[in-house]
């Protein structure tokens, strides 16, 4: 990290902050994870690293889900989806929609969970993204059971 700072390697600094943030997330230190991921978000935005920014936004959303801030989590997942769709990275967009559905599963909002599962399905089916599809179908089944359908 020190070398990247000395070289003013903004791409590398942003990546390092994102990685440090994820280490803190794994250690369940949400405050430190947020600190580093928010710094990574700022750098990724400034240097226009859209792929990196989308990943950081997804990671921030996961932290806010863990902290039960579902509105903020939704905001960040949707920002991630928008970037992935602009980049035509449909597997990543479908994955973000799936993650967002889990946000609402945890919140007990089954209708919203189903809404985002269907969006993930709509992106994953045309490209035959089976890793996403099997999770989507499984979770749709569980969500419909919860709803009594």
Pick the more confident residue, 17 or 131.
131
Q: Fill in the DSSP letter of residue 69.
A: -
52-65 residue pLDDT tens: 999 999 989 988 88
> Phi and psi at residue 5, in whole multiples of 5°?
-65, -45
Average pLDDT taken over every residue of the chain: 84
How far apart (Å, rounded) are the C-alpha atoms in residues 84 and 132?
A: 15
Percent of the chain at pLDDT exceeding 90: 62
Residue 43 pLDDT level (bands cut at 50, 70, 90): confident
Of residues 54, 20, 12, the one with CA closest to residue 37: 20
Could you give the C-alpha distances from 90 to 23, 82, 131, in angstroms and in order? 27, 10, 13
pLDDT at site 23: 46
Give the other-Cβ count within 10 Å of 127's Cβ.
Answer: 12
CB of 129 closer than 8 Å to CB of 94: yes
């Amino acid at each position: 990290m020190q070398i990247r700072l000395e070289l003013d390697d903004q791409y590398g600094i942003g990546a390092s902050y994102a990685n440090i943030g994820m280490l803190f997330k794994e250690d369940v230190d949400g405050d430190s994870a947020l600190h580093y991921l928010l710094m990574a978000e700022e750098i990724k935005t400034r240097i226009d690293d859209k792929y990196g920014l989308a990943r950081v936004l997804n990671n921030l959303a996961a932290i806010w889900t863990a902290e039960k801030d579902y509105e903020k989590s939704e905001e960040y997942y949707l920002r991630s989806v928008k970037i992935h769709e602009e980049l035509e990275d449909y597997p990543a967009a479908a994955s973000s929609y799936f993650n967002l559905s889990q946000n609402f599963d945890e919140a007990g909002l089954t209708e919203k969970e189903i809404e985002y599962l269907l969006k993930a399905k709509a992106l994953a089916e045309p490209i035959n993204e089976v890793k996403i599809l099997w999770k989507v179908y499984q979770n749709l089944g569980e969500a419909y059971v919860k709803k009594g359908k």
